[in-house]
Structure 1
Amino acid sequence: MLSRELLPIPMSQGGRLDINSGVARMSGKIWATLWKDDRRQPTTAVLIVHPASNFIGHYALEELASRGVAAVGLATRYVGNDSALIMENCVLDVGAAIRRLRELGYERVVLVGNSGGGGLAALYQEQAEHPTITHTPAGDPVDLTGAGLIPADKIVMAMAHPGRAVVYTEGLDAAITDERRPFDRDRSLDMFDPANGPAYGEEFVERYRDAQIERNRRITGWAAEQIEALREHTRESPAGLKEAPDDLPFVVHGTAADPRFLDLALDPSDRKAGTLWGSPWVANFQPASLGHLTSLRSWLSQWSYDRSRANAYLALPHVQAPVMVVHGSADCAAFPSHARTMYEAVAHDRRELVEIKGADHYFQGRPDLAQTMCEHIAEWSR
């Protein structure tokens, strides 16, 4: 018989105000849901993570629990709101969850990075095995070397891309040259201009990819300059203390413009044209799609192509734990090249690459394929 319980997990306090809710901040807790089969007394816990998505109700939890492991879905401190998210704090949240599972008596913990959790899981395991980070990319203290992070026994990249900054840059609209005027567009770099495709030529794609990275770097440079400029706005408080704003929000337009969304010959797979949010042109400007609202410090930690550390391509070569990469052949968000490159980044032979034929990012209409993924994860956990 499957049972479910809500797990409170101690949350280490961040160095600045980056959670709007005072209730959440002062509770000192993050939360997870744990499913298990009480008839089997599992000794292995499978922890599924993402920087901002609410995995307390993750679709895989019951399926995994029915296969004899304890299945845990985590909600980090940034659940439902990534506008001020700091990836290094997400690492601390994962570490707190793994420590709690060890305290509950689980002998083995398998860490699953699902979707945008792939970069987080890889970074966590790298830092748990070889801690080096003492500051965020903005220079704020966050000592992962002294956090006592406990390595997971194995990690799984499940329907995952390599990291938010990587996939975000791959979706940045290269035709936007003025961040305040998204519809004043460079036609020579506009993937939505029929003159350019689809299909897109090799020369266009090369120029487009270079322009996407350059746009990300322009925003990164601007964000870093703005953080320094905030010091100029110091005021004296009524109590006589010097104080200044330490962060600012801003908007990024055009974040769903990956040519692969329209040209299925690029990174070929069984996917359908489009994005997780529908039409690429609409999703490109839709507030609910990826990373339109952010802050200076969060940009550097979460979205910056050069400065964000949650990049599985860079972290996995340093990971000693066994790694499994599971991807769907019809996924329009995590592409075959993502899975293949993550697999190839693992520097040892305790690795496995699994393709689930016909599976899209959320297994829509195919619960049988979700069950297949869970069976692979449960077997890998054993």
Structure 2
Amino acid sequence: MTSAELLGIPMPKSDRVEIYSGVARLAGKLWASRHRAASPSKTAVAIVHPSSNFLGHYLLAPLAEAGVDAIGLNTRYIANDSALIMENCVLDIGAAIAYLRDDGYDHVVLLGNSGGGGLVAMYQSQAESPTITATPAGDPPDLTAAMLPPVDGLIASMAHPGRAIVSTEWLDPAIGDESDPSQRDPALDMFDPANGPPYSAEFVARYRAGQLARSRRIRDWVRSTLDTLGPGGDLPFTVHSTVADPRFLDLSLDASDRRTGTPWGSGLAASLSPASLGHATSLRSWLSQWSVDESNCDGPWHLARTSVPVLVMYGTADQVSFPSHAAALFEAVPHGRGTLIELPGAEHYPTSDPAHIPLIVNHIVTWLEEQGLR
């Protein structure tokens, strides 16, 4: 019979107040949920995301039932990415991998789900050959001096290539005044019916250029503000309209069998919703997490520096992780042990059709066996 337990993994220390809760800071723990197989498993699959709470991830119990121990791993930024530093997420994963190794597992595999795809590639890259000595703001940690045990395999499931990459693809270029989202440039407004959908190739090209320009305006303001604040300074700020990728409304772009819209709704209301991506952030977090020019978390770049087997799975009905995202990750694998699996009809959250979950688990278990990781 399978069983579940809560793990309290010692958290790497930090001199900065990065999480509001004093109780959480004093506990000094990273929280994880381990689901054990009925028979002892020498393989652990650790499922991770920069900030999502994975204690109840939908793959945990099914993987255990298939004979593989599964760990839903959280970083210190569980359910709050407003001050998230990607480099600290790497430290947190390192602490968890060391914990699992000490607990006797012969094989540890990292599974990055959604925004975890870029993160697990970044982790393994820095575990195998560390290069990052500071955050983009010049703060610790120095990953070249960190204890980062390499894992034995990587899985990217319904994954993005990196938070900074995907947030730039979603950033609304019609916003010209960062303090007033009601002021919109109609020439760059994907929600204006005059522009589509469908969107012309010329509009999409202008739109993508406008997204990059807005990202760089925010970056320049962040840099200027940090210079004004001086060493150690930081401030919170808001980024408006962050779910505005033309692919959400025009299904001919990055074509798949997804439905129109996003998991958070459709149209401008979803883009402005406080619950959508990356609205609340700090200056230092924005550079580390969201700046496409400065973030260290570029999944394909890091994946190209790894030597372990890689499995990339994507759903053809996924509304937010598109076929090109899976292709970018798969094509970055620098050796012959990369596997790309298409999941017909699977959405970003396959719990909407539970029949997909045993298929995903079967692909994972088969791949583990093929790679000698089980």
The TM-score bracket by the shorter chain reads over 0.9
Tell me how far 1:309 sits from its aligned partner: 1.3
The answer for the alignment partner of 1:9 in structure 2 is 9
Render the CA deviation track for 1:178-229: whole Å, top value 9, x for unaligned: 1011111111111111111000000100110011011111101111111111
The answer for the alignment partner of 1:130 in structure 2 is 129
- Asked if residue 363 in structure 1 is aligned to residue 350 in structure 2, the reply is yes
Tell me how far 1:276 sits from its aligned partner: 1.6
The answer for the alignment partner of 2:211 in structure 1 is 212
Bigger mean CA deviation after superposition, 14-23 or 191-200? 14-23
The residue type paired with residue 218 of structure 1 is R
Question: Does the aligned pair in 1 maintain the 2:58–2:351 contact within 8 Å?
Answer: no
Distance 1:245 1:140 in 2: 9
Render the CA deviation track for 1:127-179: whole Å, top value 9, x for unaligned: 00111112111000202112120111000000101111111111100111110
Question: Does the aligned pair in 2 maintain the 1:138–1:301 contact within 8 Å?
Answer: yes
Distance 1:331 1:207 in 2: 25
Distance 1:121 1:276 in 2: 24
The answer for the alignment partner of 1:221 in structure 2 is 220
Runs of 4+ in 1 over 6 A off after TM superposition: none
Helix, strand or coil at the partner of 1:267? coil
Helix, strand or coil at the partner of 2:108? strand
The answer for the alignment partner of 1:282 in structure 2 is 269
Helix, strand or coil at the partner of 1:211? helix
The answer for the alignment partner of 2:194 in structure 1 is 195
Q: How many residues align?
A: 369
Tell me how far 1:245 sits from its aligned partner: 6.2
Question: Does the aligned pair in 2 maintain the 1:15–1:140 contact within 8 Å?
Answer: no
Distance 2:218 2:365 in 1: 42
Distance 2:324 2:243 in 1: 18
The answer for the alignment partner of 1:113 in structure 2 is 112
Aligned ranges 1:225-374 → 2 under 5 Å: 225-231=224-230, 246-374=233-361
Tell me how far 1:311 sits from its aligned partner: 1.5
- Asked if residue 35 in structure 1 is aligned to residue 22 in structure 2, the reply is no
Tell me how far 1:371 sits from its aligned partner: 1.3
Aligned ranges 1:29-68 → 2 under 5 Å: 29-38=29-38, 40-68=39-67
**What stretches of structure 2 of length at least 5 have no aligned partner?**
370-374
Helix, strand or coil at the partner of 2:55? helix
Tell me how far 1:279 sits from its aligned partner: 1.3
Distance 1:309 1:375 in 2: 33
Distance 1:364 1:197 in 2: 32
Tell me how far 1:365 sits from its aligned partner: 3.0
Distance 1:153 1:119 in 2: 17
The residue type paired with residue 218 of structure 2 is I
The residue type paired with residue 189 of structure 1 is L
The residue type paired with residue 41 of structure 2 is P
**What stretches of structure 1 of length at least 5 have no aligned partner?**
232-243
The residue type paired with residue 272 of structure 2 is F
Distance 1:62 1:331 in 2: 23
Distance 1:315 1:226 in 2: 30
The residue type paired with residue 129 of structure 2 is H
Distance 2:216 2:106 in 1: 43
Bigger mean CA deviation after superposition, 355-364 or 294-303? 355-364
Render the CA deviation track for 1:244-267: whole Å, top value 9, x for unaligned: 862100000010100000000000
Question: Does the aligned pair in 1 maintain the 2:289–2:297 contact within 8 Å?
Answer: yes
Question: Does the aligned pair in 1 maintain the 2:44–2:109 contact within 8 Å?
Answer: yes
The residue type paired with residue 213 of structure 1 is L
Distance 2:232 2:297 in 1: 26
The residue type paired with residue 22 of structure 1 is G
Distance 2:140 2:328 in 1: 32
TM-score by length of 1: 0.95
Distance 1:136 1:32 in 2: 25
Helix, strand or coil at the partner of 2:143? coil
The residue type paired with residue 83 of structure 2 is A
Question: Does the aligned pair in 2 maintain the 1:174–1:215 contact within 8 Å?
Answer: yes
Tell me how far 1:5 sits from its aligned partner: 1.0
Tell me how far 1:366 sits from its aligned partner: 1.4
Helix, strand or coil at the partner of 2:272? coil
Helix, strand or coil at the partner of 1:33? strand
Distance 2:255 2:180 in 1: 33
The residue type paired with residue 10 of structure 1 is P
Distance 1:293 1:93 in 2: 22
Distance 1:229 1:327 in 2: 44
The answer for the alignment partner of 1:91 in structure 2 is 90
The answer for the alignment partner of 2:367 in structure 1 is 380
Bigger mean CA deviation after superposition, 104-113 or 359-368? 359-368
The residue type paired with residue 201 of structure 1 is S
Distance 2:235 2:227 in 1: 12
Question: Does the aligned pair in 2 maintain the 1:15–1:141 contact within 8 Å?
Answer: no
TM-score by length of 2: 0.97
